[in-house]
Amino acid sequence: MKHTFVICAYKESKYLEDCIRSLKAQEVKSYIKIATSTPNEYIYSIANKYGIDVFVNNMKKENNISNIGNDWQFAYNIAETDLVTIAHQDDIYLKNYTKDLLKYKKKYRDMTLFTTPSITLKDGRVKLGKVEFIKQLLRLPLICNSLNNIEFIKRWSVTLGNPIIAPSCSYDKRLCPKDLFISSFQFALDWECVLRLAKLEGRFVLSKSPGICYRVHDGAATKKSILNHSRQMEESIMFDRLLPKPIAGIVKKLYQSSYKAYF
């Protein structure tokens, strides 16, 4: 096997077992590991049920709060294969994910980042709305595989927002930086990571087929980041880096209007 899913498990998510089942059901098998900074009997019992090893991140936390960047970096580090996907415990991976990943990697050896469209789940139902449509539009620069190794094209795909779904991403550790997720951000760290990768040699490949079902729910980190305003603050910083100030101000307002989709 050439690929590893590392699930970032946090506290006691009722969706963790569904995530594991979806990884076990892949048409092409991968290694599966669990990384956590909140070890507990719930996580261990589910891991034992499916024969999955649990790795505990003991890195220092500020104010007893887990740093997402440290958690993702720890998960990235424990994968021993070249290709690694940081799986989110709330999401479901479609059975074609690993097969598609390896197919594209075989064709594009310089692929640093693999990503897929996603299906949004809210209250157990598929959700189709403005946010999903906008993300599809923003990902359009990556559709042409003869151009998605060009820095401008990669950067343009994340200039007007971040349409790349973090849990859908797989990274080639041979081609990516060792400290991939070292960031002070709690929400926009994946956007910052993709922008950093865009500056390096390598190709961003977007699968034609959805690879995951992305779950929106009350306990999700995305919703919490909106309520505590960390998302607004961090995204504002990113837009200021990427766009002239007058344009950044307009885009921020448009982007923030999409937040209501998480409620």
Going across the sheet that includes 31-36, the strands are: 53-56, 31-36, 3-9, 83-88, 170-172, 111-115, 203-206
Using the CB atoms, write b or e for 121-136: b if 16+ within 10 Å.
Answer: beeeeeeeeebbebbe
Domain total of the chain: 1
Q: What is the pLDDT of residue 33?
A: 98
Residues facing residue 9 across a β-bridge = 36
3-state secondary structure of 172: strand
Query: In angstroms, rounded to a whole number, what is the distance separating the alpha carbons of residues 115 and 85?
Result: 10
**220: CATH:** 3.90.550.10
Low-confidence ranges of the chain (pLDDT < 70): 60-66, 128-129, 217-229, 257-263
Question: Which amino acid would we find at residue 26?
Answer: Q
User: Which domain covers residue 244, as residue numbers?
Assistant: 3-261
Q: What is the pLDDT of residue 218?
A: 58
Placement of tokens 């979806």 in the chain: 22
Query: In angstroms, rounded to a whole number, what is the distance separating the alpha carbons of residues 156 and 174?
Result: 24
Q: How far is CA 83 from CA 3, 50, 80, in A?
A: 5, 22, 9
Query: pTM score > 0.85 for this model?
Result: yes
